[in-house]
Structure 1
């Protein structure tokens, strides 16, 4: 993982990291924190690398289990990740009558995490939803839901709250191996700490033995950890950005046309029986320089809204990368680094599953969904997408029908109306005679490209559908 030679004969005045007595503590206001020691070159205003024990590294690895909608919500809808903020706000603003049930909107805005039992044991909070709470019917025992506002199949109400408390692991381990010190680079490569690795990094960074390196221990609460995540999404230097409070700026020059070839090769021969081609009407300039908006049906909206429920690790697993400007792919690769993660937790981080019923009508990203389960004496988990007394098999969040939706270039989705259409045309300041309407049919590869573009650029439609 860490490449670069190190000199066995190097006699450095740099002392090995000092052991902490504890990695988790409480801040002055009583909030839990985790510790990380940073090694800083102040003259260069950069973090060289960091050292911590498993508590900090566990929180880092937990990022891979977070649904994209959770990340957007925890970052105040200011994640700056492609079109995700606009997708999230679109769900908020769309009327409940467009969803299969009221619960569908809740599922997209506050997605559950299939790894909740592990996350509950972290030293700082990364999900802000009580995932031990479930909703049940007291009249028809045995029926429950993980989502509020779901109706009992028989009487239409879930009127009591039940709780599920997972048994604590007898080992003091969550994801990372305990009793291990880890070294973390500025771009979030993680490996067991060693003097040889430290010297290798110093060589790689061009540091001389008399380099002025300062050691600083930070205590990071939940808010600071999410600030680190925000930087990791968009930057190759998230630790430096966090310590020196560097403004987070997405790189608008990201090339979204390059879809990893391994993804196409892996999915080329795989059948996807639930995928059907998607029709849309594109309104764009005649000279192919800009897209104003597209008119789409429920099938397009369902796939793109469902993106908010997909865990970060599953996105990386599907595409073989994250943004080329971010650091999360390094974190993802570190899961397989020898001595970092418990063997039984690797698949949980490398290909996180969706909770039961949180998939969408077309599993184009091929993310596995957990089977319905039981909680205490309640054995029948109700599909939140199914109206009361429904058949229990619906997968789509959005109702089928004749409703047409309007999607702008940055994937803001709303009801189509002539008023909204005129507003978009006026904002573009393009004369009507210089506009053209095109009918398109999107295949699976184009949908995959659009989903990838949704995480890389604020011009998703134009980046994929216009000529390069």
Structure 2
């Protein structure tokens, strides 16, 4: 702390290689601390990213396609529709599955509250049981009937130190590809830029603050040149959106739960007005906020069309495991899962969750009161002191103790989602307002029911990151098929073909199979 009483702001120093003629950053020479920050971006849940990039800064706030409206709809969703009192907090402050690693970094831009642990306020009595109930959310109920409100802090736990080894040096290109430091890599970058005159290159040293790192996060989501924009102030080069979904080769439709939805759309242009479904549909959309960015990129096979993050993820996949603190850590980063306790019973997309370690509570008492109390992982520390008690902690599920009915919203309500993923309880008045806002007529509105699976869920997920018409783009192929069916039906009627109801159904069934065959061949 300085003499004036002002806390000195933590900064990271970078060396930038700049091409003066084009005013463009070619690459940066960086150490462990900066690479740790870039990798941490991939660990942030989408809800955290939506919250962070909405902050004002030198770059201003950023609204990511439909993600921001989805986040804001949770803010506005009444508590009476949430399954438990912690569900809204879990969606608005989703936990980072690599939280312990990020907390240990020199500069961490994640403002999510650290995970806290709570035991019974009457712990002195409860510790006599073979196990003690513990929650990572305050005021859950203990088995004795009291509230879990007494905070217990971790101690003697495994220490984490970021993601890559301290001795490693790296180069990071303007589009955030991380490379081991080497002359070969440097010359390859220069050659790729068709630079002949080496005197046109200039080294610039910059000190990066937390606010600039948040701006870098914003740029990484929309631009292929985030370094050039943040550090040289040049207009970012935006990436063109590719709506194509690459189906993961190791996934199948059988792995994905089918969800029934009613789609209301305009016949004239195929735009979705809204989609209506039960709690499984609402849970799928809301759970998107809990997905870590790296897990989403893994699902989309590195094809999110979001700025530079595809290249960042691929470079982490390609980095030699020897550069990471451990091989196991790299495997975790490449195959990210949800934070512990965030997976739903009807989880639609095949994203696993990280399992929490076994927690134990160590306590010491004197004269009928607790004098020492802390949490530890696993069997790392067992005291020989007879005055200490060692209890296994039974972790309380923040949503439901019944794993078969675990969801964020209540099942007694029908939910509606707008094209930009504003989720709310169904309302007739809201539906009329939506139709009016789209400047269309009631005769142009069509409603059809579909069962959506893995292909549609991935399409909606990707569209939510790149478009404010998430449902229109995510379900475009279903609506196209529906329009073809309507065309066939109209054609049959116009030609006054005499067919029985059974024959008409058969004709439409054959048409559906042909359309489906053509679609999946693509």
- Asked if Structure 1 and Structure 2 have the same fold, meaning a TM-score greater than 0.5 normalized by the shorter chain, the answer is yes
Question: Which protein has the larger Cα radius of gyration, Structure 1 or Structure 2?
Answer: 2
The reply on whether 1:374 has 2:359 as its aligned counterpart is yes
| Superposed CA offset, 1:31-60 (max 9, x none) | 212221111123312111110111111111
Equivalence for 2:425: 415
Cα gap change, 1:220/1:137 in structure 2, threshold over 3 Å: closer, same or farther? same
CA distance in 2, matches of 1:250, 1:413: 29
CA shift for structure 1 position 232? 1.0
Tell me, what secondary structure is at the counterpart of 2:449? strand
Q: How high is the TM-score relative to the length of structure 2?
A: 0.77
Show the 5 A alignment for 1:6-85.
29-76=7-54, 78-85=61-68
- SS of residue in 2 equivalent to 1:455: helix
Computed over aligned residues only, the root mean square deviation of the Cα atoms, in angstroms, reads: 2.4
- Contact preservation (8 Å) 2:170, 2:179: yes
- Aligned-partner Cα distance in 2 for 1:282–1:132: 39
CA shift in 2, pair 1:138/1:321, >3 Å:
same
Among 222, 226, 230, the alignment partner of 1:238 is: 226
Mapped contact 1:132–1:163 kept (Cα < 8 A): no
| CA deviation after TM superposition for structure 1 residue 79, in Å | 4.1
> Would you say the 8 A contact 2:238–2:307 is kept in 1?
no
Is residue 2:324 matched to residue 1:341? Answer: yes
Gaps of 5+ in 2: 1-5, 56-60, 361-374, 376-390, 481-522
Say whether residues 1:115 and 2:98 are aligned partners: yes
1:97 equivalenced with 2:80 (yes/no):
yes
Contact 1:136 1:161 (C-alpha < 8 Å) held by counterparts: yes
Give the corresponding residue for 1:11.
none
- 193, 207, 211: which one aligns with 1:219: 207
1: CA distance between counterparts of 2:438 and 2:238?
Answer: 23
Contact in 2 for aligned 1:64/1:313 (Cα 8 Å): yes
Evaluate the alpha carbon distance shift between residue 90 and residue 50 of structure 1 in structure 2; reply closer, same or farther with a 3 A threshold: same
- Residue 356 of structure 1 is aligned with which of 340, 353, 372? 340
Q: Residue 374 and residue 210 in structure 1: after superposition, are their counterparts in 2 closer, same or farther (change >3 A)?
A: closer
**How far 1:88 sits from its partner (Å)?**
0.7
Contact 2:399 2:406 in 1 (8 A): yes
One of 442, 451, 459 as aligned partner of 2:461: 451
**Deviation, structure 1 residue 148:** 3.3
Structure 2 partner of 1:228: 216
After TM superposition, the structure 1 stretch with the greater mean CA deviation from structure 2, 146-155 or 457-466, is: 146-155
How far apart are residue 370 of structure 1 and its match? 2.7
Per-residue CA deviations over 1:104-125 (Å, capped at 9, x if unaligned) read: 1111111112211111110112
Contact 1:236-1:326 within 8 A present in 2 as well: yes
Paired residue for 2:196, among 166, 187, 208? 208
Give the SS at the match of 1:379: strand
Matched length = 428
Structure 1: 5+ residue stretches without partners: 1-27
User: In structure 1, how many angstroms separate the alpha carbons of the residues matched to 2:23 and 2:155?
Assistant: 45
- Check if 1:268 corresponds to 2:268: no
Of Structure 1 and Structure 2, the greater helix share is in: 2
Taking the aligned partners of 1:76 and 1:165, their CA distance within structure 2 comes to: 35
CA contact (8 A) 2:306 2:465 kept: no
Q: Could you say which residue in structure 2 is the equivalent of 1:152?
A: 142
Partner of 2:296: 315
Provide the secondary structure at the position in 1 that maps to 2:11. Answer: strand
Q: Does 1:463 align with 2:473?
A: yes
Report the alpha carbon displacement of residue 165 of structure 1 after superposing the two structures with TM.
Answer: 4.6
**Please, what TM-score do these two structures have when normalized by structure 1?**
0.85
Matches within 5 A, 1:164-203: 164-165=154-155, 167=157, 169=159, 174-203=162-191
- How far 1:80 sits from its partner (Å)? 3.1
